[in-house]
Chain A
Amino acid sequence: MLAPATLFVLAFLLLPMLVVLRYSVNRYVPGGLMLQVFTLENYAHFFRDHYFQKVLLTTVWVSVVCTFVSLVLAFPLAYFLARTRSAAKSMLVMLVVFPLLVGNVVRAAGWMALFGTKGVVNSVLEALHIITVPLNIMYTTGAVIVGIISIVTPFMVLTLQSVLEGINFSVEEAALNLGAAPLRVFTKVTLPLAMPGVIAGTSLVFILCMNAYATPVLLGGPSFQMMAQTIYDQISNTQNWPFGAALAFVLMFVTVALTVIAQVFLHRSYKSAG
């Protein structure tokens, strides 16, 4: 019974991944077929070329900022959802899930409507006489960051919520009862107990940010590059498959490495806080 699904995943995910891994050590011949060799030159290429390193660096710092901000935004919402005894709770959770399911392209379109030269933000600011010349919001890093944050925040909310649900509310009451002011209850009790959720949520969201495609393409414009776009260009436009494959594995490796480092760090700080 397990075989069909397992074989399917093996055939259409893992096997292709292995093929790409193999491709990443082939030699690229411009305009011709690649050579079946074993070379690390594609990876070396990445480490020599400052352009690609800059793309990776941009991807990393944008992801870090987005992850952090989405954590800050998601926590109150997740806390509210975990604690509310409202009859509309299921509805309120659905309201978080819904934008997530709608997909990033449509949401990016929404931000385009807001950020354009004649978009909502500029129109409102002009109407209020705060600005006379429209601001350049579209095709900036800021626009990309806002867009990505709105994409990933629902994931963060849902991850945090599931952990916060598991925390006994009376533990917070016990802390209050013992004289801890609300802020201290949060730092000494709620946050340490929510740490598994924080770790899981930031890991998931960081991975999503690192792989963001539609948002940077639509809101960042042609001059703004993140890794997923670059990989797409290498495969689709430049037709340099070995290098594109190498970039894909560099992206995966860096993402996993940074996630693991962050997890270890968060675990430590959580232990010492407890």
Chain B
Amino acid sequence: MAKVQLHKLMKRYGDFVAVDDFSLDVADGEFVALLGPSGCGKTTTLRMIAGFVEATAGEIRIGERDVTGCPPHRRNTGMVFQGYALFPHMTVFENVAFGLRMRRLGAAEIRERVARALKLVRLDGHAERMPRQLSGGQQQRVALARALVVQPDAFLLDEPLSNLDAKLRQEVRLEIRQLQRTLGLTTIFVTHDQEEALTMADRLVVMDRGAIQQVGSPAELYDWPVNRFVADFIGHSNFFDGSVCGPGQFKTDTGAIVKFDPEAGTPQGGVALAVRPERITFGNTPADGPMNCFEAEIEAVTFAGPRLDLILRCAGSRIVAYVHNHDGSVAAGKYRAGERGFATWLPSSARLVDQ
């Protein structure tokens, strides 16, 4: 394994800039997720690293090697494709052995390494099957084994879980994470699923319209989003538009004053205040002191299993607050539309973000 360095990477198709000024250092053995909506340039970036897309400008280094102009078959990356891209005319064994044969290894070594790789993904005994005889999950594990058996310098995953059903996805997430840790794989993972990215990666790169929005650990991104896009894309946020009107004071466009923690620094440009729905509590009694507290009316209630979503009209805005389903009482009609009360949250739960 090796570190991967991307320096000022850019990809332009005619007038359309798919990826712009993308710089990122992935440490040896680190798991980085590229996260963003479809069309944000995350897949293009991954394909530039693999060599399928030629960078218009910038530099890609894998380990000590500059591979920017290298054709894909000389880059020694291991890629897992979205639809797995197994060779339909080859057995599982031949699929996994393919990369080793291209590296002209001896028959004995190939057999041994393929066997080890298949064991690693718990597919020993399936070596002679054809890909179409396997379930989606099994095909996915063949794709993993095929990419890993060549001992790639970088492990690239392009939405590898999107074709699996929800239950299986949970399992495979853990499995990939474990493989990545035990083998110390330098991994770059592309996904549009924020939950996938949050639970699996060491570091997240949030992208939008070809540009990096924010890079950081899952907790950093969730708790300290730098702009409205990140705050909105990772988890849910309530936004108040307005401007800072004093130290730790934010005046919304509807005229309400919301307190926030001034320690958190003030972003440049147009700002908004973001508050996570789970930080807001709704109750009958007003809170005092430093808390933000506004009169609120329940507009609608949605039952979502582990929690209840309250849609509140509050401080001239419509916001969402979560109520956790601790004891089953929320389902029993504890909250009703039309009910009035108070929405409260700590100033430190409010984040100033760029528009």
Contacts and interface: CB of A to CB of B under 8 A. Distances in A.
B41 interface: no
A170 B88 contact: no
A177 B73 contact: yes
Interface in A152-174: 168, 170-171, 173-174
A177 B78 contact: yes
Contact of A179 (B73, B89, B90): B73
Interface string B75-91: 11111011101111110
A173 B150 contact: no
Interface size on A, as a range, is: 20 to 34
Contacts of A185: 73
A161 B85 CA distance: 20
B5 to A, nearest CB: 20
A188 B52 CA distance: 19
B225 interface: no
A176 B52 contact: yes
Interface in A79-106: none
B109 to A, nearest CB: 15
26 contacts: A170-B82, A170-B85, A171-B85, A171-B87, A173-B50, A173-B72, A173-B79, A174-B81, A174-B85, A174-B146, A175-B87, A176-B51, A177-B50, A177-B73, A177-B77, A177-B79, A178-B73, A178-B78, A178-B98, A178-B99, A179-B73, A179-B74, A180-B102, A192-B89, A193-B87, A193-B89
Nearest to A172: B85
Contacts of A184: 102
Given A171-B86, A175-B98, A189-B87, 15 more contacts: A171-B87, A173-B79, A174-B81, A176-B51, A177-B75, A177-B77, A177-B79, A178-B73, A178-B98, A179-B76, A179-B102, A180-B102, A188-B98, A192-B89, A193-B89
B11 to A, nearest CB: 16
- Please provide the 6 A-B residue pairs with the shortest distance between their CB atoms, ordered closest to farther: A178-B99, A179-B102, A170-B85, A174-B85, A176-B72, A274-B89
Given A180-B98, A180-B102, A174 B87 contact: yes
Which among B73, B83, B147 has the highest number of chain A CB atoms within 10 Å? B73
Interface of A: 168, 170-171, 173-182, 184-185, 188-189, 192-193, 274
Contacts of B167: none
B76 A170 contact: no
A171 B86 CA distance: 6
Nearest to B96: A178
Contacts of B150: 178-179
A182 to B, nearest CB: 8
A180 B83 contact: no
Contacts of A170: 81-83, 85
Contacts of B147: 177-178
